[in-house]
Amino acid sequence: MPLSRIQLANLRIYQLFRTESITVAGLVWANRRIYLIILSINLLTVLAISRLAGPVPGSIFGSFVMGALLRDLSFFRRTVKIWPVLKQIIDWKTVDQLLVENDAKMKSHHAKQDEPLT
């Protein structure tokens, strides 16, 4: 079964927390790249808006982004609470199989891209 990048990323996160205890901090760390991008863009945008239109519009924009981040933290808290149940009902053999199959397809795809043109 071919999986998208997002599906593969989620399965890898599930697999990580299969053996380690799941925490809100661990979920934030697992998603650190996107949060660094979001926070960087937010900071630059708030600075630009504050400089061009004043501190109030910049603060309003920053508040929207911070609200979204707080929503994510709330979602992560709920995930931590429900994880023990999910961990018991997830078919780990299927998760492992899907990851192995898709990793093999990715390696095959990259190998074809690296072949010299004849």
Paired tokens of 32:
């650190």
pLDDT in tens, 21-70: 899 999 999 999 999 999 999 899 989 988 998 888 888 888 988 899 99
Q: What is the pLDDT of residue 105?
A: 74
Query: Is the pLDDT at 118 greater than 50, yes or no?
Result: no
Mean pLDDT of the chain: 87
Q: Can you tell me the distance from the alpha carbon of 61 to that of 42, in angstroms, rounded to the nearest whole number? A: 8
pTM of structure: 0.72
Q: What is the pLDDT of residue 110?
A: 55
Are 24 and 100 within 8 A, CB to CB?
no
In the numeric block, the tokens 């997002």 are attached to 6
